[in-house]
Structure formats: C-alpha cells, structure tokens
Amino acid sequence: AQSVTQLDSHVSVSEGTPVLLRCNYSSSYSPSLFWYVQHPNKGLQLLLKYTSAATLVKGINGFEAEFKKSETSFHLTKPSAHMSDAAEYFCVVSEAGNNRKLIWGLGTSLAVNP
C-alpha cells in the first residue's frame, strides 16, 4: 500500500533563505507524486507533479522537487523564500491504476519570518 511521510510538521525560515520541505513515500508501483499548497482561507492548489518523466520537476512560484527513487524521496525546495510562501504544504502520492485516488501526507506548515 502507498503511504507518504512528511518529515517536518512545521518549518520556519527567514525571508530570502532557502526552503526545504521533506517528503518520503512508499509505493509498490511507479508512483505519481504531487505537492499541493493551501494558503490561509484558500483552497488546495497544485504546485507541481511528477509523472515518470524528468526527475527534477519545476512548479509554480519558483518551487521545484526532485524525485529520487533510490531514496524514495520527493523533497520540495525553493532557493529564496518570500513572505507569500507562508502556507501549508502537502506531499501526495497517487494510487496506481485506474483508481487514481490521492494518498496525502500530514502536511508541513511553513512560516516565513521577515
């Protein structure tokens, strides 16, 4: 069965410094992996997705993630944090087959300090 572990429940960075949000997954199949973001009082927005093409995936707002099969990781990074990046981030794996249901991590709350 697939599962997702987000290694940090809270991350705090200073504006202008790099962001690293860690995610490990467990999957019996070649997974599809996603990062979603939820800003306060907003809906869930897709940041980026990996679907067995390039292992380095670029998303919106300067975020990117690298799929590392040997480490079963899909960490999210950004070179320089902005105040508007403060939000909750979710790492997600898609269950294989026609089902396509999404399996979610618990989320990481990112705080950006001035």
Partner 1 sequence: EAGVTQFPSHSVIEKGQTVTLRCDPISGHDNLYWYRRVMGKEIKFLLHFVKESKQDESGMPNNRFLAERTGGTYSTLKVQPAELEDSGVYFCASSQAAKMSGLGTDTQYFGPGTRLTVL
User: Which residues are near partner 1 by CB under 8 A?
Assistant: 4, 32, 36, 42-46, 49, 51-52, 90, 94, 97-107
Q: How far is the CB of 70 from partner 1 (least distance, A)?
A: 21
Q: How far is the CB of 85 from partner 1 (least distance, A)?
A: 19
> With contact defined as beta carbons under 8 Å apart, do 74 and 67 qualify?
yes
Residue 7 or 102: which CB sits closer to partner 1? Answer: 102
Residue 13 or 89: which CB sits closer to partner 1? Answer: 89
Token output for 100: 């396509």
Q: From residue 15, how far is each of 2, 19, 63, 79 by CA, in Å?
A: 35, 10, 15, 11
SS3 content of the chain, % helix, strand, coil (to 5): 5, 55, 40
Q: How far is the CB of 74 from partner 1 (least distance, A)?
A: 14
